[in-house]
Amino acid sequence: MTSDDRPPGAIATRDAIASGRLTALAATEARLARIAEAEPGIRAWVEVDAEGALLVDAAQPEPFPVESRGQQELVAFYGLAGRQGGYRPPLVQVPVPWVMRLAWDSSATRSFLWIHEKAAESAARALGRIAASYTGAEIRDLGLDIFGGDYAPRKMRGADRYSLHSWGIAIDFDPVRNALRADKRTARLAQPDAEPFWRAWEAEGWTSLGRDRNYDWMHVQAAARGY
Ligand SMILES: [Zn+2]
């Protein structure tokens, strides 16, 4: 696999590494091509040890902020929220180890997620662990290949607060089967086979509003909910 065959996100992330913004990813970047070759069905972004074995154990969770109603902690940690047509937070393209299809246009694919640079490394590790935990068929069955959104500057519905998507610190998966009002009985990602998926995020310090508050099961965010 040459670098030209890589998804655009892998190249952007490599550039971020080169500029020193994602140093912790450098060690895994060197091994990306070899892993991808071994798993041709998956665009691998996984951590491996010196012998090339997959590292699937929990990492130290990142010290992400606890979000209050005023969201001051988010601003202190991540900087300002993005504004439509205005300020954009420092975002990195994190490659996804499997092909994602857009929820609203299944003929269009995405091979990366836009993530705030302070949450990008942990997202890359979580995605690597998820790829190591499921087969491609299981990923599709769970709907992890259905992209519902990443960076999107906007206010929360019905509240004078920014959506965490405005910082590039939230990701939505399979929004149709995990609609905002779906609960743990009805949401696809509330079912037992999603447990490794959520554990991968939680091990990195990310929060599922579904598991924490039993709503918005499509959504995972790099901040705890403190209210
Ligand atoms: Zn969301």
- Residue 62: the pLDDT is 82
Per-residue pLDDT of the chain (227 residues; tens, 9 = 90+): 333 344 444 444 445 444 544 433 443 444 444 444 444 333 334 455 555 555 544 457 788 999 999 999 999 999 999 999 999 999 999 989 899 999 999 899 998 999 999 999 899 889 988 888 888 899 999 999 999 999 999 998 888 899 999 999 999 999 999 998 899 999 999 999 999 999 999 999 999 999 999 999 999 999 999 99
Domain spans in the chain, listed from the N-terminal domain onward: 68-225
The one-character DSSP state at 144 is T
Please report the sign of the dihedral spanned by the C-alpha atoms of residue 187, residue 210, residue 175, residue 122: negative
Compute, in angstroms, the gap from residue 52 CA to the centroid of ligand 1: 34
Rounded to whole angstroms, the Cα distance separating 180 from 217 reads 7
Compute, in angstroms, the gap from residue 17 CA to the centroid of ligand 1: 27
Long-range contacts (CB closer than 8 Å, 24 or more residues apart) made by 134-141: 134/196, 134/197, 136/41, 136/42, 136/98, 138/193, 139/98, 141/193
- Residue 157: the pLDDT is 84
Compute, in angstroms, the gap from residue 48 CA to the centroid of ligand 1: 30
Chosen CATH of 68-225 out of 3.30.1360, 2.30.30, 3.30.1380, 3.10.20:
3.30.1380
Retrieve residue 177's tokens: 């089967």
3-state secondary structure (DSSP) of residue 72 = helix
Compute, in angstroms, the gap from residue 79 CA to the centroid of ligand 1: 19
3-state secondary structure (DSSP) of residue 85 = coil
Retrieve residue 109's tokens: 């694919």
Contact between 151 and 110 (Cβ < 8 Å): no
